[in-house]
Structure 1
């Protein structure tokens, strides 16, 4: 079942009268959306007319026409989507993030002094798009080849950042004025085939038939001492606030063997499937799936009063 169907079912249980509105940029447009009569929109959009960089514009439009909606506003969606901007903001707020550079067709926009190994990915894609076993590079030759691949395949600047070996930890956050960091979730990458980088590429996250997908799983973290767990929670909360996320969001981090926490990226409006990490964290915190959707609705409504 898709997350939209699960959310529809939860809203019905809560006494609402939900309906679907699918924006396609052609037959169902923003103009028609303004006339849909909704009291509140659960914003699950990830793209508009096939362009996944336009989700921020939909949020901005909903604000212009004064229809309340769930999740990140245009600022949060813009700041989180451009990973280089997000990382500069993290640096400003003293939130540890891997050193990085950005490059686009021979032009370097920003560069720290970075050292191999490096991971190279599109600067603005989400959902692990553009990330696979070839993303981690150990030489100048591999780096140049991967940068060229990103430019040609995605017509996007390449984000080149130091690869942090460590545990992949997700912090789901719920709330606005006093946001709650839900129990931490780990994506266990330890069973990936020998010789492959420990990264959450597309095969790990979405390709159900791959060995990588079958041997990786997410689960609540149970073996962290409280000091490290607090550092993870505090770091995530700082990143959530720095990028102006609201209602709900997920911060992806790496924890290395020294106990250092690095923010990899921030995710406004993360996937709300009952099987996904956000709902998993909410369940561990005592929220049923219906409770979780109710809470997100409540948070969005409170902002519009």
Structure 2
């Protein structure tokens, strides 16, 4: 029997740079080596891979009827425009009833919006840093609320946000895009100026204001869905050296030569790591994320862990992405990892699972 056919979606960093987009515009997009590695790992697991590309290419293929030849879709497409850009390819796939790997469109759109994600986490009683949201449509010309500080004072977390430092970032970005040294604010004037800068650069996007956490930070990798989900392992971001700044910015996250910030850790006999992993798994299940991803956790000065954000569309670049490095640390090769990701997806599609077994 013929192998399952997987349509593969992505945006190439080099292609979009050649179209005139800036490095920062493209920071979330995938390098050619990532695209090639994912495709090869899928082929090595016995799948036929059709390289498609971005959402516009998907529209073209559907118009030509080519989608009828696909069994399954695998999208690492980050999208370019809009707060729901990571959900654009999955949303179109779902409209045409094309099964796909990773979380559904609704979950991807939700998790990209850090403010709305925090609201859902609070609903489930999952700790996240106290926060306030500067709405996308707000500006200082508002007749009632004229300052960011006044907005913060209206938050249910107003009391906890009275004391600085606070942390500001655009609500709907990834790869630390929109996070700069000025994101850590130490007084009201810095808060006002910082939010104004972010609003100017990320027009039409809400800005998240949250309590700055000073404890240890972990990125927890997970595999599976629902009750089948489990922790793969964790990587600690080491902020012991003040020179490193204390938090990930677009520069120190994405530049070469910052390996000293990362340390793979085991939960065995380490209560703090175990607490981070337990919290990450709770968040993963609460947001109904699927197949594979990461949850970032940081501890507060009170010694308690808080969820920073969830990433249900994780990087899959060999020797680079935190998820891949964590898997490799635990003896899981790139090929094995991608095989397990698709196996997790097939649990949701019995007909495809049976076809896979019959191969």
**Does 2:178 align with 1:178?**
no
CA deviation profile, 1:133-154 (whole Å, cap 9, x unmatched): 1100001110000010111110
Displacement after TM superposition at 1:22 (Å) = 1.0
- Structure 1 residues 122 and 40, CA gap change in structure 2 (3 angstroms): same
**Match of residue 45 from structure 1:** 77
Give the deviation of 1:257 after TM superposition. Answer: 5.3
3-state SS of paired residue (1:303): coil
Equivalence map 1:208-247=2 (5 Å): 208=256, 213-214=257-258, 216-222=260-266, 225-247=269-291
1:43–1:231 CA distance, 2 compared to 1 (3 A): same
Change (3 A) 1:40 1:96: same
Displacement of 1:223 after TM fit? 8.2
Unaligned runs of 5+ in 2: 1-31, 146-150, 351-359
Corresponding position of 1:30: 59
Q: Looking at both structures, which has the greater relative contact order when contacts are Cα pairs under 8 Å and sequence separation is at least 6?
A: 1
Partner of 1:79: 110
Consecutive unaligned residues in structure 1, runs of 5 or more: none
1 CA distance for matches of 2:211 and 2:172? 17
* 2:217 and 2:296 in contact (8 A); partners too: yes
Asked if 1:91 is matched to 2:91, the reply is: no
Report the CA distance between 1:35 and its aligned residue: 2.3
| Alpha-carbon displacement from aligned partner over 1:105-133 (angstroms, at most 9, x marks no partner) | 24649622112101110011111111011
* SS of residue in 2 equivalent to 1:46: coil
Partner in structure 2 of residue 207 of structure 1 = 255
After TM superposition, the structure 1 stretch with the greater mean CA deviation from structure 2, 28-37 or 153-162, is: 28-37
Once the 2 structures are TM-superposed, how far is the Cα of residue 293 of structure 1 from its aligned partner?
Answer: 0.3
Q: Equivalent residue of 1:165, what SS?
A: coil
Match of 2:139 among 97, 105, 108: 105
How high is the TM-score relative to the length of structure 1?
Answer: 0.89
Residue 214 and residue 57 in structure 1: after superposition, are their counterparts in 2 closer, same or farther (change >3 A)? closer
Please state how far the C-alpha of 1:205 moved relative to its aligned partner: 1.2
Matched, 1:10 2:41: yes
Q: Who is 1:159 aligned against?
A: 208
> Quick one: which of 272, 288, 294 aligns to 2:333?
288
Question: Using the alignment, how far apart are the partners of 2:183 and 2:177 within structure 1?
Answer: 11
Deviations 1:8-52 (A, max 9, x none): 111222222212111253xx242524624222111110005x446
Q: Residue 114 of structure 2 contacts residue 309 of structure 2 at CA under 8 Å; is this kept in 1?
A: yes
| Per-residue deviation, 1:54 | 2.0
TM-aligned CA distance change 1:22 to 1:58, over 3 Å: same
Give the RMSD, CA atoms, in angstroms. Answer: 2.1
Give, in whole Å, the separation in 2 of the partners of 1:39 and 1:287.
26
In structure 2, distance between residues paired with 1:221 and 1:178: 23
In the other structure, the counterpart of 2:245 is 197
Aligned equivalents of 1:21, 1:41: Cα separation in 2: 10
Q: Distance in 1 between matches of 2:255 and 2:176?
A: 11
Q: Flag as ranges the 4+ runs of structure 1 deviating above 6 A.
A: none
Q: Do the aligned partners of residues 284 and 216 (structure 1) sit closer, same or farther apart at CA in structure 2, a change above 3 Å counting?
A: closer
Offset of residue 197 of structure 1: 3.2
Q: Does 2:179 match 1:131?
A: yes
Decide whether aligned partners of structure 1 residues 24 and 93 sit closer, same or farther in structure 2, where only a CA change above 3 A counts: closer
Structure 1: distance between partners of 2:267 and 2:285: 27
The equivalent residue for 2:8 is: none
Instruction: Tell me the TM-score normalised to structure 2 length.
Output: 0.77
Counterpart among 58, 64, 68 of residue 95 in structure 2: 64
